[in-house]
Structures are given as structure tokens and as C-alpha cells.
């Protein structure tokens, strides 16, 4: 019975039991048993998978959610790995990305200010806090990185850059010209309830899940994501983080040429 770590974190006042039905529905119809465990010290969801269709279930979880590496032994230089931002180090101007590894101990990928400037700002010397704000690089945001060095088996960090797919995602957000409101810490059902309660469904195109508790509200052209924050936020818990992604602001700071195809 393998124990897997899903690339989903539970934090705030949320609990694993609130998500058991969601994950069980993904393998409905398969001959498989899921045993949910307590979340890890860092909030990652773990479960045991057994039954004749366990390999199929594991494949589905990998496709729909993603599975964390079981240990650092699976990582090497140039590995592309998904994780979630766990810390913004403003002293050293670095972003720490939790890769979900629990054995033998957690391992975080570190992205430097210099690499962020090169990948997101067309090499411009934008200040680290500005880059963080422009691209909504806040704690718990799901993100994909590419390791730039071999992993020290005894180490707890490894250097990395954003993956090509992650850069392409940000480029797509800017190129679309639509504002996005990123909501961290609430299930999508609660986000949609807040939109309904605030009567702002007519101002959005759709909601998109990034993770179990991370969602995007895609605004219609002309709708300002900043303006939605106080109107939607009052229907959500105070621990929920709402941050706007503004293509117009990104282009103003960096320029169109950085996002031309």
C-alpha cells in the first residue's frame, strides 16, 4: 500500500476531511481503496492507495493534481518540479518553493532575484518586492521550477529557476490583457459563493482552480481586479489572501517587447 503525497496543501482553518470526497470522486468506479492520513507538518495531503486499480488511481492523481517526489533521490540537475511558494525572503531577495518532499527531510527550491529579473522582467533591474507584487508570487501560490544544480542528499535547499511552462503561463496571462484576481486559502465553491453574494458574477469570465485552496477569478475586459477585492473579500474568511494580477501594470513596468511572441 504506497503512501503518496499529493501536490495540494491544506492550511488555515481547513482540514483534510473537507477534501476526502473531492479526491475520492476522482477514482470513482475503480477497484481502489483510499486511506487519508493527517497532513504533513507543512500541510501536504498524504494518503495510502490500495486495490487492483491502484496503478490507475496513481496515474489519475498524477495527471489531475500532481504527486510530490517521494524523496530527494528522485531529483537531479534540470529536473522540472511542481511545488508551492513557502517563503518570500526579503532579506536575501529570494523565493523559497516547497517541493513536497518529506524524506529524509523537506527540500526547498530557491529562486534568486537575478533569475526572476532575467526570466520575468526581460533583464530589467526591477526591485525584488516589485517583481513579487507584479507576478503575485505570494505564499502558497502553486509554481513550477527547474533545478539548476544537483541536489545534496543532506541539504534542505537547491537552486532553481522558473520552468519554461511557468514562464509561458505568466506570458499568457499578460498577453490576454484580462485582469485576474488570485485567491489563496479558499475552496473554489466558497469563491463562487462569494462572487454570487457580492453580485459580481457578471463581471467575470470564469473561475479557474490552481489547487485545492488556490483559485483564479478571470475578469472581463474592463473589470479591475483591485476593485473586486473589498467587494468579494468580505464574503471570505479574513485568513484568505486576495491579490490582483494586472497585465496593464506589468507592461507599464516591463514593456510590451518582453511579452511579444
pLDDT higher than 80, residue 24: yes
pLDDT at site 260: 65
| Identical fold, 72-167 and 180-245 | no
Is 90 exceeded by the pLDDT of residue 204? yes
Helix residue ranges, H only, the chain: 20-26, 54-64, 113-120, 128-134, 164-176, 188-197, 225-233, 247-254
Side-chain-side CA neighbours of residue 240 (13 Å): 23
pLDDT digits (tens, 9 = 90+) for 36-45: 988 899 999 9
- DSSP letters, 39-97, are PPTT-EEEEEEESTTHHHHHHHHHHHT-B--SSGGG--TT-EEEEEEEEEETTTTEEEE
> Model confidence over 77-87: pLDDT tens digits?
999 999 999 99
DSSP reduced 3-state for 211: coil
- Least-confidence region, from 68-72, 112-116, 131-135, 228-232: 68-72
Residues in the chain: 261
Q: Determine contact, residues 41/214, Cβ cutoff 8 Å.
A: no
CATH class of 180-245: alpha beta
The mean predicted confidence, pLDDT, of the chain is 92
Q: Identify the architecture of domain 72-167 in CATH.
A: Beta Barrel (2.40)
- For the chain, domain boundaries: 3-64, 72-167, 180-245
Q: Residue-wise over 133-153: b if at least 16 C-beta within 10 A, else e? A: bbbbbebbbbbbbbbbeebee
To the question of pTM greater than 0.75 for the whole model, the response is: yes
Average pLDDT over residues 128-142: 97
Amino acid at each position: 500500500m504506497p503512501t503518496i503525497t499529493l501536490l495540494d496543501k491544506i492550511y488555515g482553518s481547513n482540514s483534510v476531511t473537507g477534501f476526502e470526497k473531492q479526491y475520492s470522486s476522482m477514482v470513482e468506479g475503480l477497484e481502489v481503496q483510499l486511506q487519508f492520513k493527517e497532513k504533513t507538518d507543512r500541510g501536504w495531503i498524504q494518503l495510502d492507495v490500495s486495490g487492483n486499480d491502484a496503478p490507475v488511481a496513481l496515474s489519475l492523481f498524477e495527471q489531475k493534481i500532481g504527486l510530490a517526489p517521494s524523496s530527494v533521490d528522485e531529483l537531479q540537475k534540470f529536473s522540472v518540479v511542481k511545488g508551492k511558494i513557502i517563503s518570500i525572503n526579503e532579506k536575501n531577495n529570494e523565493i523559497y518553493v516547497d517541493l513536497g518532499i518529506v524524506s529524509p527531510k523537506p527540500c526547498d527550491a530557491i529562486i534568486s532575484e537575478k533569475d526572476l529579473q532575467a526570466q520575468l522582467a526581460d533583464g530589467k533591474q526591477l526591485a525584488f518586492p516589485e517583481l513579487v507584487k507584479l507576478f503575485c508570487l505570494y505564499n502558497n501560490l502553486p509554481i513550477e521550477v527547474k533545478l539548476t544544480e544537483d541536489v545534496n542528499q543532506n541539504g534542505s535547499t537547491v537552486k532553481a529557476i522558473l520552468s519554461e511552462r511557468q514562464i509561458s503561463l505568466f506570458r499568457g496571462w499578460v498577453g490576454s490583457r484580462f485582469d485576474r484576481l488570485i485567491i489563496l486559502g479558499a475552496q473554489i465553491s466558497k469563491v463562487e459563493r462569494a462572487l454570487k453574494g457580492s453580485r459580481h458574477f457578471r463581471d467575470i469570465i470564469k473561475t479557474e482552480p490552481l489547487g485545492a485552496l488556490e483559485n483564479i477569478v478571470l475578469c472581463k475586459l474592463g473589470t479591475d481586479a483591485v476593485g473586486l477585492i473589498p467587494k468579494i473579500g468580505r464574503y471570505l474568511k479574513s485568513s484568505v489572501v486576495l491579490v490582483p494580477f494586472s497585465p496593464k501594470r506589468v507592461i507599464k513596468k516591463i514593456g510590451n517587447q518582453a511579452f511579444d511572441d
